A and B are shown apart, each in its own frame.
Chain A
């Protein structure tokens, strides 16, 4: 006996069904952390949803967006809902490490292509049967960290102190820092942690200043990253302060004001889009995104939004070939989509230029990174 799949949920509840009513041909499920501790990263992505293309290769697309509240259990729940109730053809998510890692198992189990929006290298390496289904739209954190390490090496930095979030974000960046700095013989002489909502980091900063490092690396995202920088300046620290790509938003400068002047960070090319040479194909994409985002949301864009546009862009690149194999909504289509994603070659995205291979599911090169310095309240390209 075949019961229509909608009947049982209907008896449970209301509101199971989304939006338009018309059955779209391609479905893309998105789970992001729009609330909770990852909200600062998730909300720009959520604000980007309206900018996604309504059709891909002539087929209408339906986007289904769920919030996982920065909670791993919810992220898993969302993924299952998107895959088994909505039958999405591809899954995109999530915003922070703890909500992204659990998706890997589900994607592999249900054979659904998953595009992750987190820089953690461990999401796609080492490549195995599970990670085969996972594609990372961000460059590896080590690729970004390399920019910092190179800049340090070039400027004669020998010793570094690291202060990062007391969470997955901070830990992943610390690991990336250790890796890239060791390769260049730069020593990490102090490691401190702080919490996003801390009101003071004086203790940690005192310890760092006492260790007299040549430079300090702050592994934090968004406005909370201001706190250590401010404390360092107040303590009269004169060395260079580096940040991660996590602070690439105007909020950082708004809160930091004069204290964050001179900070150096790696970021996606969009951060200095207007300074890019016109020959760079990324420039047009990035400026276009910024203009549309700010026109729609009336607030400055943040660097976490483009990941979503890029994810869909990458999918749309693989769709035409997959459509030749099977219809959307079928396992065959998903498998073909996965194959298509894996054979992406030189796709121009806001984040960089991406080429996938069976062994590399985050195939960016150094063009995916620019180094910028905060100057007069803006991010300026370091050439």
Chain B
């Protein structure tokens, strides 16, 4: 959400939060609103984790417990002021999340939720069996928060604290999502390959999100302990963990405001259902559990993105402001000079998958300011060669040198940082993100702003440069007018061009293009050829896989021909055209 005057909105919200306790609202509703605020904090974390980052956790309640128990123990047993326990509680929660997260976040999607379920259960029993945590009876008599000489004893006094914290969390989280790191987080859901190829350490990004969500949960726990002033393990069990997830899903797992909406709906429904349902149905039973269960199923079937998008779509937003390509642009890489060491030097690389040899002893060079075509029939090993060069696959033999230094043992993201950018045969973009943001992913490693800078908006100057650069590259490839569309709405040919723009945003010295012309019309191919020629003139080297023979022949300086993983010919296009082995193996004598 991008309101026109975020400052005004914030001031209004703060005023509302400060006046609500003064309004003649019954205490009970105040305490219900307090609970909604506490749940919202956890749900905001889950929105980032699940809705945006694509990781599901059933174990957030355990992190709430971490925060609550830390402050409860410190403030009762050791008599430390609650305000001093806050940083300790947050750091402990973060440490726990870091430990658990580093084990699970690297695994594919479903291991994390199952892992969270297991530790959610384990912590419940752990909390209940540790004497210093008060065992199953928990800890009572936790001191209230104190501001000046004023104890925040009742819910009314506590209300502004809870909701100002929620507001701050929403503000910071929204900020975060619209930054360099935020784009990396949002791109997580669409797979890790492209991100790694553009220098993003996806495991690290996942871990950051995981810890961030846990810290919000811990914060909620800290507040909870001082609001309830007594805690025990039943508030941090696996059922509660499932309920937090329910809140995020109901509200809209991809939206920060959805978290508050979801927390509100679930809490109020729960409150009201227990009044109404027994009257309708009577008898014993856990009716709201049944209702919540079915609600989850129905919402996922009919409104996958939760209820918040339904609300927000009723108020269409105005057109977004276009970022102007900025003058104070990013530092440019010095391009390799012709005649010096080759830009790319592939020496006898091999790759086998089990018994299948996909690439076998392939050797070729790409010089500065050269366009080299890599051709061969389907299954010849061209894309595998690309993956070996860019570090997405590890070679089983041979060497790859980039500007004279070995890169074959480096991870993809480090290779990207050296200045190798690529496109993919099967488009690897984040369809829900805008075209501009997808391109900005390409410029990721040219920025440096991290979590804190993003949350506090200290990254604005750099952001302007990154987005400006992205816009510049989009205009260069002719997609400027689509800048604010979701990437998923473009045609396949346009997506391939979009991938080129993203690769250019990395400011590469070497560009690897996997079938860039597939899906383009004749005129578009000519424009693409012109663009590539221009890039070469500016000093870039290009390695190209392409099936369109005319396109390749007209553009490239050299050709490298593969068949069944083996190099069968090298040379200038005119020679290759006449090479009988190539004609036999690849062109089948047609040309």
Interface residues of B (CB under 8 A from A): 24-29, 31-32, 35, 125, 128-129, 135-138, 140-141, 153-155, 224, 228-235, 239-240, 268, 270-272, 274-276, 278, 284-286, 288-289
Contacts and interface: CB of A to CB of B under 8 A. Distances in A.
A267 interface: no
Given A66-B274, A99-B234, A122 B137 contact: yes
Interface residues of A, number: 52
B137 A168 contact: yes
A37 B27 CA distance: 29
B137 A105 contact: no
A165 to B, nearest CB: 9
A5 interface: yes
Given A5-B24, A98-B233, A166-B125, A109 B286 contact: no
A171 B31 contact: no
A80 B31 contact: yes
Contact of B31 (A2, A77, A101, A167): A77
Interface in A70-112: 70-74, 76-77, 80-81, 83-85, 97-99, 101-102, 104-105, 109
A77 B29 CA distance: 10
8 contacts: A12-B29, A15-B275, A34-B284, A69-B288, A72-B232, A97-B136, A98-B136, A104-B230
Contacts of A99: 234
Contact of B154 (A43, A46, A109, A166): A109
Contacts, number: 129
Interface in A14-56: 14-16, 18, 34-37, 39, 43, 46
A43 B284 CA distance: 7
Given A15-B275, A168-B136, A168-B137, A109 B232 contact: no
A167 B125 CA distance: 9
A210 interface: no
A171 B136 CA distance: 7
Contacts of A1: 24
Interface of A: 1-3, 5, 8-9, 12-16, 18, 34-37, 39, 43, 46, 66-67, 69-74, 76-77, 80-81, 83-85, 97-99, 101-102, 104-105, 109, 120, 122, 166-172, 193
Interface residues of A: mostly helix, strand, loop or mixed? helix
A122 B136 CA distance: 13
Contacts of B29: 8-9, 12, 85
A37 B224 CA distance: 22
B242 to A, nearest CB: 12
Given A13-B268, A14-B272, A66-B274, A101 B232 contact: yes
Contacts of B128: 166-167
Contacts of B140: 101-102, 104-105
A35 B289 contact: yes
Contacts of B125: 166
Contacts of A101: 137-138, 140, 230, 232
Given A5-B24, A8-B25, A46-B284, A105 B136 contact: no
Contacts of A35: 284-286, 289
Contact of A98 (B155, B234, B285): B234
A320 to B, nearest CB: 30
Output the residue of A5, A37, A69, A83 with the most chain B CB within 10 A. Answer: A69
Nearest to A14: B272
Given A97-B136, A122-B137, 14 more contacts: A9-B29, A34-B284, A35-B284, A72-B232, A72-B235, A77-B31, A81-B28, A83-B28, A98-B234, A105-B230, A109-B153, A167-B136, A169-B136, A170-B136
B26 A5 contact: yes
A168 B270 CA distance: 25
B272 A13 contact: yes
A80 B27 contact: yes
Output the residue of B128, B141, B155, B233 with the most chain A CB within 10 A. Answer: B128
